[in-house]
A = this chain, B = another copy of it.
Amino acid sequence: MSSLFPTNNASYVTSFNQGHLALPPAKKYIVVTCMDARIEPASQLGINLGDAHVIRNAGGRAEDALRSIIISQRLLGTREIAIFHHTDCGMLTFSTPMLRDLVKKAEPGNQTVSGLVDQIDFQTFSHLEESIKQDVQYLKEHPLVLEDTEITGWVYEVETGKARQIQ
């Protein structure tokens, strides 16, 4: 599908007029959200090009985003973090031991695969709103996150397109 990027991008380039935007995010905030295919932060939250850092990973987990958040805050001036998890998230459907087993069973007896996958915490969760509260708390308490950071937590509903704040 990446074979379509050149054509799609050529169309974008014809109307591109944002080459002047600076490296630091103009609105000084970070959105952390899931990699889910039904999420598109720019249009769903009204983020203009140049405004915010957007960090995305499986689940929109804060711990996984920590390296990026430190860089964003210390070097590029962001001072607010909004965490979005979403309904019907894949992370609600499995557990770390389940995925480890699945990967090992795909290559039985492969000790390299087995050793590597056992080191990974897949950071799944079993309750949507709790996972958001946990991630807000994780960042609020983390010694490497700036103390004066405003941190909020949100649910995005893939069924309705609605975003609602819970923290």
A163 touching B5 by the CB < 8 A rule? yes
Q: Looking across the interface, which residue of chain B has its beta carbon closest to that of A88?
A: B23
What separation, in Å, do the CA atoms of A149 and B24 have in the docked complex? Answer: 34
From 3 to 62 in chain A, residues with beta carbon under 8 angstroms from any chain B beta carbon are 4-9, 11-13, 16, 18-19, 21, 23-30, 35-40, 42-46, 49-58
A82 touching B2 by the CB < 8 A rule? yes
| A9-B45, A57-B68 known; A51 vs B16 contact (CB < 8 Å) | no
B21 touching A103 by the CB < 8 A rule? no
Give the residues in chain B near A90, CB-CB below 8 Å.
23, 71, 75-76
Residues of A within 8 A of B (CB): 1-2, 4-9, 11-13, 16, 18-19, 21, 23-30, 35-40, 42-46, 49-58, 64-68, 70-72, 74-76, 80, 82, 88, 90-91, 93-94, 99, 102-103, 106, 110, 112-113, 116-117, 120-123, 143-144, 150, 152, 154, 158-163, 165
